């Protein structure tokens, strides 16, 4: 099965290309960005050696749908989707923070809590919680947006402002938008029998100074979901929650001795493991969108993308 590891396109009026962990972003004439979602899989800020079939298409299509479902609340960068793996939008200058918001004590927050910490990014976490308990109110725990290959770092609101990473008036908008998006995402998830546990949002500024949502939203790479059915019973029994997110990949890596630390070997990803991960991504797509996933043609996937993008840019 053909997967997208990397792209090396040369589109008309292309100025530059930025290659992130999962997405590749082409600057067209300092006006548009063409964002291509690859099938690369990243965990613990490390790109794993094998790609996951249809992962890029899934991320792109969930993010697109969620942007359309939230554009009445928060403006976003998106203009069009000329291909299943592609989003085209306005060129923006990204803020150098990721706005992480958590409704529950899970993942990174739970690991910190277990280690005895009771503040995360300068935000207090109540005593007496067990893993996956709901916070009294969602908490915003930002992280720095790392350059290629570096780890994102927790950072407090106070440090963001003190270091001048984001101006105070802009940061207040980012916080407001983050809470609004999380509330809407929670409502959308609930309709699908899911709990939106935590997620991250990224924002940028357009040329005319407007703050907009960029990148992805409410995808399995940026968000964690639990199944609502049985959540309370599992909590009471101290059982693991049934979840839809990339956490199952992280857990598998941890169980096999890998957390992205120096000297650790990435465990072998067999064909069966790759297929299992792909099927889990498809499950999440269908669960959260309510749509049946339609696999795009992958015979000549790079050719398909190039033709579709060029046709769009020519309009």
User: For position 282, what pLDDT does the model report?
Assistant: 93
pLDDT classification of 152: cutoffs 50, 70, 90: confident
| Residue 312 placed within a domain | no
Domain at 105, CATH number: 3.30.470.20
**Angle at CA of residue 203, ends 30 and 8, nearest 5°:** 45
Question: Which helix (DSSP H) or strand (DSSP E) does residue 81 occupy?
Answer: strand 78-83
| Residue 267 placed within a domain | no
pLDDT classification of 245: cutoffs 50, 70, 90: confident
pLDDT in tens, 107-150: 999 999 999 999 999 999 999 999 999 999 999 999 997 665 45
**Angle at CA of residue 222, ends 219 and 226, nearest 5°:** 70
Residue 141's CB is within 10 A of a number of other CB atoms, namely 25
**SS3 call for 281:** helix
Mean pLDDT within 256-279: 91
Q: Which domain holds residue 236?
A: 95-245
Contact 104, 133 (CB under 8 A): yes
| Residue 14 placed within a domain | no
Most confident of 165-169, 256-260, 275-279: 165-169
Q: Tell me how far apart the alpha carbons of residues 42 and 109 are, in angstroms, rounded to a whole number.
A: 19
| Residue 38 placed within a domain | no
* Tokens linked to 269: 């990803």
User: For position 147, what pLDDT does the model report?
Assistant: 61
User: For position 44, what pLDDT does the model report?
Assistant: 85
In whole angstroms, how far apart are CA 26 and each of 20, 39, 100, 285, 298? 11, 17, 26, 26, 21
Mean pLDDT within 235-249: 87
Mean pLDDT of the chain: 93
| Residue 100 placed within a domain | yes
Region of poorest pLDDT, from 99-103, 245-249, 252-256: 245-249
Q: Tell me how far apart the alpha carbons of residues 261 and 44 are, in angstroms, rounded to a whole number.
A: 9
Q: Going by DSSP bridges, is the β-strand pair 23-28/78-83 parallel, antiparallel, or unpaired?
A: unpaired
User: For position 148, what pLDDT does the model report?
Assistant: 53
How many domains does the chain divide into?
A: 1
Mean pLDDT within 215-236: 92
Q: Going by DSSP bridges, is the β-strand pair 119-120/78-83 parallel, antiparallel, or unpaired?
A: unpaired
| Residue 75 placed within a domain | no
| Residue 270 placed within a domain | no
User: For position 250, what pLDDT does the model report?
Assistant: 86
pLDDT in tens, 207-217: 999 999 998 89
Question: Is the pLDDT confidence value at 49 over 70?
Answer: yes
**SS3 call for 101:** strand
User: For position 280, what pLDDT does the model report?
Assistant: 87
Question: Is the pLDDT confidence value at 1 over 80?
Answer: no
pLDDT in tens, 64-86: 999 999 999 999 999 999 999 99
Work out the percent of the chain whose per-residue pLDDT is above 90. Answer: 83
Q: Tell me how far apart the alpha carbons of residues 226 and 242 are, in angstroms, rounded to a whole number.
A: 6
Q: Tell me how far apart the alpha carbons of residues 283 and 134 are, in angstroms, rounded to a whole number.
A: 24
| Residue 124 placed within a domain | yes
Contact 194, 185 (CB under 8 A): no
User: For position 283, what pLDDT does the model report?
Assistant: 87
* Tokens linked to 190: 């609930």
């Amino acid at each position: 099965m053909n997967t997208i590891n990397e792209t090396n396109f040369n589109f008309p009026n292309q100025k530059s290309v930025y290659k992130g962990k999962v997405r590749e972003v082409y600057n067209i004439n300092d006006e548009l960005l063409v964002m291509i979602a690859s099938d690369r899989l990243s965990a613990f800020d490390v790109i794993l050696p094998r790609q996951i079939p249809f992962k890029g298409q899934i991320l792109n299509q969930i993010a697109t749908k969620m942007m359309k479902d939230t554009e009445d609340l928060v403006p976003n960068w998106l203009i069009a989707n000329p291909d299943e793996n592609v989003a085209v939008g306005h060129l923006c200058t990204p803020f150098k923070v990721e706005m992480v918001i958590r409704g529950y004590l899970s993942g990174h927050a739970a690991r910190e809590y277990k280690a005895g910490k009771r503040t995360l990014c300068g935000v207090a976490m109540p005593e007496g919680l067990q893993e996956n308990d709901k916070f009294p109110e969602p908490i915003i725990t930002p992280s720095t947006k790392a350059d290629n290959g570096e780890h994102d770092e927790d950072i407090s609101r106070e440090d963001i402002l003190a270091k001048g990473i984001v101006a105070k008036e802009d940061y207040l908008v980012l916080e407001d938008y983050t809470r609004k998006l999380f509330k809407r995402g929670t409502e959308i998830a609930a309709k699908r029998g899911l709990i939106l546990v935590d997620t991250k949002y990224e924002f940028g500024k357009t040329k005319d100074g407007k703050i907009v949502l960029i990148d992805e939203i409410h995808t399995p790479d940026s968000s964690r979901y639990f199944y609502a059915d049985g959540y309370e019973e599992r909590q009471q029994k101290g059982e693991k929650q049934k979840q839809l997110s990339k956490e199952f990949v992280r857990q598998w890596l941890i169980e096999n001795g890998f957390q992205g630390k120096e000297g650790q070997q990435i465990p072998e990803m067999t064909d069966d493991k790759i297929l299992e991960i792909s099927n889990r991504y498809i499950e999440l797509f269908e669960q959260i969108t309510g749509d049946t996933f339609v696999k795009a043609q992958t015979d000549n996937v790079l050719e398909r993308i190039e033709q579709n993008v060029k046709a769009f840019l020519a309009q």
